[in-house]
Structure 1
């Protein structure tokens, strides 16, 4: 055998036993897969908080590879009917707004718009019953490593990642804390102010009529339509290191900051973590309202618990070089998603305007010759429906014949939310 042949043989990679190859594939598959572990704790004061836990949903029936999970909190006010109705109908309405036959990535891309349609449809259906209660909603969908959160009101969902960065995944629709929402409410015909007691203004900012301190909810029929059900939606993708979600009603966040809630339960299993977050909130504030907390761990396959975030060693040298971070910089850091590749932001939109939230790709169904309402999903003749952009109020730059199309009922809902009323006929002499 020549030296060249011997050299060539030496360059060949060594043979790997079949068992070792199969083991590698299984290990890689487990790394790519994730599992969801969760815990919940709820204490009642008024009995108006409800929650939804559905860890084993499927996009395609009997197909485990299409599974996803749903977790939600419904914090009712002025009664329980809106919270119960949303718990029983919201998921169904969201799924009905997603076209059939989509693959995983397409399904996730369609989900933000479907959440908007589902929230609005649920609100329309509930109002038809004449009930006056309302509810905030924080609605979380977990598909693989992708987390999509839709929210109206002041419940909150935070994400705690292995990098120790705590990120807010929900909007804040308290009038006291959201100047944009105050402007929208007043522009749509509502009034914003505090309670007047003996000539003195007291308490948080509220909208009138109704006196609600929130600008978005499902229900609240006795308040103006400017209290809208259009959710803030945020979609992020985790790395295979996973992360922890803490979903809780406002009584938790009135007592704890996002960082405090995350730090109070790190390194503990989800069921114990939920109890500890509630305990920590009660310790500082007491039970003044219904208090509900869901903790959801999204972790690599076969991991018993999300590992604690490693603590950085604080040395004198670190202090000299970096000093103490200001409160401003810490707040900025906690409002951003992790910059170490742990989380990728895919989508975020909080506008209350349906024309901005429903997209334009709702073409005519060539098979039936019908349009489908983008909200209630009812087929209609082209002459019966109206585009989101049509009517006397569309902007000069828009194209009123473009979709999405709305049925007459959903069109009225859209106009009412935006404070649009038919102009009064001019009186001629």
Structure 2
């Protein structure tokens, strides 16, 4: 069963394009639920009344809160499925990507450089994630067929999931976390091409091959060509979905044409005379100035306290007595600072937020391996 879902949304908080790709496993419930709720949870985590620059700066933190809240709410439904998520927001030339799992988002700039805007949370290739899981009480190993023979990719046990981060997977363990890797860049004014694909594509072709095989094609044709290339290499063995978006710079305004003049003496001399800098229009100067892709933000820690603490921009604009993850209002004496239990907590005041409600604090401690996974929800299979 193909469990990949894709979504294109325009939302009116700011006029932005949102791209979402979900690759479900063990059923489609998590992918469908996340598609229907993740965007709203992210928007709810954004402070109100921000200008555009503030909104872009606050987006990485809101993405973390939205991912964790979506996972928390879905797990309360006691469904056993899970999903990878690649979530991209395009606001003008700003691109912000949050991801859990092994789908991948890449960008080719107009200058020909390739940027990886997501991280692979596949245990087979991510040493840091393997170490985090074992430190939290999980086990990492291959499927044992008996007699000492081991086959397949590295998996997390119990559960046998080969990913270290996802939304859902209530039956696997608290060390499988929904905290996303987030990266934010600003494109050059020349634009670029964004490609988001599920692991069925990247298991077959590299980023360079994917981009080269669709060179010069329109975005819709390019997406189909990348899938075709991947299937030709390995056949249709896994979910193979691709989204291609071309971010086209605005048309450059043309400088006004000079009034025609009658040819006379000295015309050829004037044609080859070097023009003074003052004669160049401001428009010409603007587009002659070189600009490049700027990498504005990158954070991949799985520790929720590190992703929601005061080093994040605009933290003072978030409501003081509201859970930083699930957005529920909390009384002043009920909120628990995200710094609680950290080595630096002694340097902070009890009212130094952001704050978590009790249930999100328990989720945070379990995610960070500070307590064993307790009794899990009784779950029905999809």
Q: What TM bracket, shorter-length normalisation?
A: 0.7 to 0.9
Q: Find the aligned partners of 1:75 and 1:365 in 2 and give their Cα distance.
A: 32
3-state SS in 2 of match to 1:176:
coil
Q: How do 1:23-172 residues align onto structure 2 when only pairs under 5 Å count?
A: 46-54=1-9, 56-59=10-13, 66-172=14-120
Q: Find the aligned partners of 1:124 and 1:226 in 2 and give their Cα distance.
A: 14
- After superposition, the C-alpha distances for 1:252-297 in whole angstroms (9 at most, x for unaligned) are 0000001111111121110100000000000101111121100011
Q: Find the aligned partners of 2:127 and 2:20 in 1 and give their Cα distance.
A: 27
Which residue among 199, 207, 224 is the counterpart of 1:258? Answer: 207
Superposition deviation, residue 421 in structure 1: 2.0
- After superposition, the C-alpha distances for 1:39-86 in whole angstroms (9 at most, x for unaligned) are xxxxxxx221101111x3221xxxxxx411000100000000000011
Matched, 1:350 2:300: yes
Which residue among 366, 369, 379 is the counterpart of 1:419? Answer: 369
**What is the total number of aligned residue pairs between the two structures?**
329
Q: How do 1:305-324 residues align onto structure 2 when only pairs under 5 Å count?
A: none
Matched, 1:236 2:191: no
1:388, 1:405 within 8 Å by CA — same for their partners in 2?
yes
3-state SS in 2 of match to 1:140:
strand
Alpha-carbon spacing, 1:365–1:299, altered in 2? closer, same or farther (3 Å): closer
Which residue among 150, 155, 171 is the counterpart of 1:201? Answer: 150
In structure 2, the gaps of 5 or more residues are 253-289, 373-382
1:238, 1:343 within 8 Å by CA — same for their partners in 2?
yes
Moved more, 260-269 or 206-215: 260-269
1:78, 1:133 within 8 Å by CA — same for their partners in 2?
yes
3-state SS in 2 of match to 1:371:
coil
RMSD of aligned Cα (Å) = 1.8
Superposition deviation, residue 165 in structure 1: 1.2
3-state SS in 2 of match to 1:351:
coil
2:188, 2:292 within 8 Å by CA — same for their partners in 1?
yes
1:389, 1:400 within 8 Å by CA — same for their partners in 2?
no
Name the structure 1 match of 2:282.
Answer: none
Superposition deviation, residue 396 in structure 1: 4.4
In structure 1, the gaps of 5 or more residues are 1-45, 60-65, 304-339, 423-429
TM-score (norm 2): 0.83
Q: Find the aligned partners of 1:363 and 1:237 in 2 and give their Cα distance.
A: 25
Name the structure 1 match of 2:375.
Answer: none
2:189, 2:291 within 8 Å by CA — same for their partners in 1?
no
- After superposition, the C-alpha distances for 1:74-119 in whole angstroms (9 at most, x for unaligned) are 0000000000011000000001000010000000000000000000
Q: Find the aligned partners of 1:262 and 1:345 in 2 and give their Cα distance.
A: 21
Name the structure 2 match of 1:385.
Answer: 335
3-state SS in 2 of match to 1:124:
helix
TM-score (norm 1): 0.74
2:339, 2:345 within 8 Å by CA — same for their partners in 1?
no
Alpha-carbon spacing, 1:244–1:365, altered in 2? closer, same or farther (3 Å): closer
Q: Find the aligned partners of 1:240 and 1:215 in 2 and give their Cα distance.
A: 36
List, as ranges, runs of 4+ consecutive aligned residues in structure 1 with deviation greater than 4 Å.
361-366
Name the structure 1 match of 2:325.
Answer: 375
